[in-house]
């Protein structure tokens, strides 16, 4: 999946959100490779990428899953393409929502989770949120709503890569602090290594009996490519052939 991500980034010739996509890519692999019960026609589980700029991570997963073919994939960030920096809802491709404006995906997930409860529909709703995104007030509005409706079918995953657009995130928003905050809001809170697949497999299956679940996933921005790791220039950066070749060697 990392290779797909790099291929696509190189091919478009435009700056792309690579760092924050690499930080979620093991989470995406675990979700799409094992956890999610998917059905294009009648989705069972649903995945919402609230941190829409991580779309390259989702795109790679949807390609590896066979929902997006190579010719479509390679249109990423080309003129007129529907596959751009942020997800645009597209049932055919398995993209559940349009995102890009931060702080909105969790409420959407809460609405779907409530609908599932009302319809007595099995299935889980996963919403991936950035750590920087947790500065958005609307995230906490949704956090309250989810506990009030006892949405144990909802799991938020916080991608704690420690960086936002302008640099490192304040220590008030590190994984320990986020854990305390989510616990304080009444969520079933689990901390894990966001790059350890066996750990992810375990925690993503956890369902509280009456609370919404949150996985605080400790991740590394740019994970897997040495010169990108913890280097925020790759929050949104342009890949050249030379850099691509170097990156591929690291995988």
Partner 1 sequence: MKIFDEKDSRQWSRMGPRAMFGQFMLEIAKDNENLMVLSADLGRSSGLDRFKSMYPNKYLSVGISEQNLIGVAAGLAKEGFKVFVTSFAPFLSMRASEQVRMNLGYMKLPVNLVALGSGVSMGYLGNSHFGLEDIAVMRSIPNLNISSPADCGEIGKMLSDYCVNNHGPSYIRLTGIPGSPSVYKSNYDYTFGEPITLKKGKDLLILATGSMVAQSLIAGKALSENGIDAEIVNVHTLKPISEKIVEKLNKFENIVTIEEHSIVGGLHSIIAEKIVSKFSKANLFPIALPDRFGPTGTYNYLLEYHGLIGKKIAINILNFLKKNKS
- Smallest gap from Cβ 140 to partner 1, in A, equals 9
Residues of this chain, 181-240, that bind partner 1 according to CB under 8 A: none
Q: Which one of 64, 74, 138, 197 is in contact with partner 1 (CB under 8 A)? A: 138
Query: Is residue 114 at the binding interface for partner 1, with CB under 8 A as the rule?
Result: yes
- Smallest gap from Cβ 141 to partner 1, in A, equals 4
Residues 6+ apart with CB under 8 A from 178: 131, 134, 158, 160, 216
Residues of this chain, 51-90, that bind partner 1 according to CB under 8 A: 89
What DSSP designation does 237 have? Answer: B
Q: Distance between CA atoms of 54 and 129, rounded to whole angstroms?
A: 10
Nearest to 216 by CA among 145, 128, 125, 106: 128
Query: Is residue 97 at the binding interface for partner 1, with CB under 8 A as the rule?
Result: yes
In the bound state with partner 1, the residue whose beta carbon lies nearer, of 141 and 246, is: 141
Residues 6+ apart with CB under 8 A from 171: 177
Q: Which one of 42, 119, 171, 249 is in contact with partner 1 (CB under 8 A)? A: 119
* Tokens found for residue 245: 């070749």
In the bound state with partner 1, the residue whose beta carbon lies nearer, of 91 and 167, is: 91
Cβ of 58: how many Cβ atoms within 10 Å?
27
Query: Is residue 129 at the binding interface for partner 1, with CB under 8 A as the rule?
Result: no
Cβ pair 15, 235 in contact under 8 A: no
Cβ pair 18, 53 in contact under 8 A: no
Choices 31-39, 141-149, 163-171, 184-192; region in contact with partner 1 by CB under 8 A: 141-149
Give me the residues that bind partner 1 (CB under 8 A), please.
89, 96-101, 103-116, 118-119, 121, 137-138, 141-142, 144-145, 148
């Amino acid at each position: 999946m990392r290779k797909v991500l790099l291929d696509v980034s190189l091919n478009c010739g435009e700056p792309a959100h690579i760092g924050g996509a690499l930080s979620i890519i093991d989470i995406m692999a675990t979700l799409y490779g094992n956890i999610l019960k998917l059905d294009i026609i009648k989705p069972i589980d649903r995945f919402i990428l609230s941190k829409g700029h991580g779309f390259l991570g989702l795109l790679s997963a949807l390609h590896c899953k066979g929902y997006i073919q190579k010719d479509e994939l390679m249109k990423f960030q080309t003129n007129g393409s529907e596959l751009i920096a942020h997800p645009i809802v597209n049932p055919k491709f398995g993209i559940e929502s349009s995102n890009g404006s931060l702080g909105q995906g969790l409420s959407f997930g809460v609405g779907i989770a409530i609908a599932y409860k009302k319809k007595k529909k099995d299935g889980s709703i996963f919403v991936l949120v950035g750590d920087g995104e947790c500065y958005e007030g609307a995230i906490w509005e949704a956090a309250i709503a989810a506990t009030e409706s006892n949405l144990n079918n909802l799991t938020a995953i916080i991608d704690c890569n420690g960086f936002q657009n302008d640099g490192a995130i304040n220590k008030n928003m590190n994984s320990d602090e986020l854990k305390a905050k989510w616990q304080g809001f009444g969520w079933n809170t689990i901390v894990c290594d966001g790059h350890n697949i066996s750990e992810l497999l375990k925690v993503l299956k956890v369902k509280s009996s009456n609370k919404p679940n949150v996985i605080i996933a400790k991740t590394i921005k740019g994970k897997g490519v040495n010169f990108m790791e913890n280097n925020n220039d790759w929050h949104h950066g342009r890949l050249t052939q030379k850099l691509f070749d170097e990156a591929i060697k690291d995988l």
